[in-house]
Structure 1
Amino acid sequence: MAPKRARTTRANPDLTRATTATEPMSQEAINNLIAQRVAKAIAEYETQRNSVVNEDMSNTTGTGPRIKDYLNCRPLKFNGTEGVI
């Protein structure tokens, strides 16, 4: 029978398998990393915002349903002073 492996616990950590960095990052390095990520995110946002999703440009503002389209559906006429509250 094969020998059992020793279990690693918080009380008994395995120091041979270190996964943390040996040197901490400086504040300047952290700020540079954040600035790079923010610049990249803004560039991606601008690209997506300015791109045309559909060829007929139906994703642009101001192309919603008009009152004529609404009236073509023949909505029910409402008579009275009470309504949905």
Structure 2
Amino acid sequence: MAPKRATRSTPATTTTPAPTATTTTTVTNAQLQAMIDQGVSAALAARDATRNGTDSHSSGTGVRGSERVARECTYQDFMKCKPLYFKGTEGVVELTQWFERMETVFRISNCSVENQVKFSTCTLLASALTWWNSHVMTVTHDVAYSMTWVDLRKKMTDKYYLRNEMKKLEAELWNLKVIV
């Protein structure tokens, strides 16, 4: 069944407002662009003030930023990069490779300077670990772990770059022959 139609008892009337006086102002394109820029800047400033920097994807200009906030490296992050282990018996070449790999892992894992010595010394094994533990007992944990990576490299170089091995490598280098 079709719905019933409602009818009004009084007809609808419309009123038109009385004409008002209008003032016309001419605006140049430059003035119009300046007003738009000012309005956009004010809107962006208001948005930035209300959000308090919680959006890390925006640079404040409405353009998505490409720079990410780096999070701090954890020991698990460091170990996921598969650092080399060093026993102290491998010699100069392996120690040099260990240094190079550690520095690569520091960069990849975004390891902070404060954690470099702590994390890297966890990869020492056998006699190298014994050497490190005796150093820690001599100077205390706080002092040992507050040293820089450069200082640790120097200590390990002094310990494991044996003079006779260096001379042997130099002799091999001088005695190399080019085969044509």
TM-score, normalising length: structure 2: 0.19
Larger Rg: 2
TM-score, normalising length: structure 1: 0.37
Higher RCO (C-alpha under 8 Å, 6+ residues apart): 2
